[in-house]
Amino acid sequence: MYRVERSPYRIQRDVLYALLLLELSSRFGKSRGGFLWVLVEPIAHLLVPILIFTYIRARAVPGVEYPVFLVYGFLPFLLFKAICLQIIDGTNANQGLLSYRQVLLMDVFIAKAVGHFVIQAVVFLVVLVGLGMLGFHVLPVRPIELAGVIAMTFLMAFGLGLLFAAVASLVPDARAAIKILFMPLYFASGILFPVTRFPDHWVQILSINPVLHLVELSRVAAVEGYRPMPYTSILYPLALGMVTTLIGLMLYRQRFLTKVTM
């Protein structure tokens, strides 16, 4: 019997594919109800503000349908949040898999990030189809730009997730503190209403938040005639994503990779 040797690339591909399937199956479960349960949280995030601000308080964004405004604000935020938190939790998950020499913790991080990217993409496609059936104009006017914003969101979330994972491995209590920070970040990212309603000095302070830039860029790419805050920049979240990813990879090598390979 001849033994077929696999290349390192093929081994890496198979490991990532297996971990991705494991991540998706753990999220969706073995029943159809698992898929529906995954949809409940993000759809609830969307429906509650839509009902409160559109139908109860009649709040509107000039020139923009409020549900569409809301959806394209949630798109980068929930993607950013899901990837960050899953990478942080990845240091405690799948410990048994790390006993296999082919599997590294970075493989777990990548599988979790890609898995939740797929989940969020499916969720938002379902939401957009639903809003389209209700008569809203949901198709992005500049889809390539929107894809670029999503790519920047993924990059920055992955880099910050690596940083947070390294911090949480050194200070276990930091894990809970980091998760709590996403609540004020939610309100500071201009998801429920445009930040241009605030005084200019408050807008300058809020513009420090890179997620706000991603939210504004998402709406610019999706909605015709949308006016973002005056400090919106594409270079800020892009540069931050590249820098945090680089630093995160360095910390990963020092904090996790050396422990696995020693």
Domain count, the chain: 1
Question: Among the ranges 55-69, 90-104, 205-219, which has the highest mean pLDDT value?
Answer: 205-219
Within-domain flag for 115: yes
Task: Work out the average pLDDT over 153-165.
Answer: 90
Q: Is the pLDDT reported for residue 176 higher than 50?
A: yes
Within-domain flag for 131: yes
Within-domain flag for 3: no
Q: Is the pLDDT reported for residue 136 higher than 80?
A: yes
Q: Is the pLDDT reported for residue 38 higher than 70?
A: no
Within-domain flag for 188: yes
Within-domain flag for 2: no
Within-domain flag for 140: yes
Contacts (Cβ under 8 Å, ≥6 apart) of 262: none
- Lowest-pLDDT range of 20-34, 64-78, 147-161, 165-179: 20-34
pLDDT tier at 105 (50, 70, 90 boundaries)? confident
Q: Could you say which DSSP state residue 57 is in?
A: S
Q: Which domain holds residue 98?
A: 8-261
Q: Is the pLDDT reported for residue 2 higher than 50?
A: no
Percent of the chain with pLDDT over 70: 78
pLDDT tier at 158 (50, 70, 90 boundaries)? very high
Q: What are the structure tokens assigned to 83, written together?
A: 């990837």
pLDDT tier at 261 (50, 70, 90 boundaries)? very low
The more confidently predicted of residues 142 and 95 is 142
d(CA 217, CA 233): 8
221: Cα within 13 Å, side-chain hemisphere:
22
Q: Which residue has the tokens 């670029």?
A: 148
DSSP code per residue over 38-77: HHHHHHHHHHHHIIIIIIIS---BTTB-HHHHHHHHHHHH
Q: Is the pLDDT reported for residue 34 higher than 70?
A: no
Within-domain flag for 35: yes
What is the value of pTM for the model shown?
Answer: 0.84
Task: Work out the average pLDDT over 208-232.
Answer: 91
Within-domain flag for 193: yes
Task: Work out the average pLDDT over 111-117.
Answer: 86
d(CA 196, CA 212): 12
- Give the pLDDT of residue 31: 55
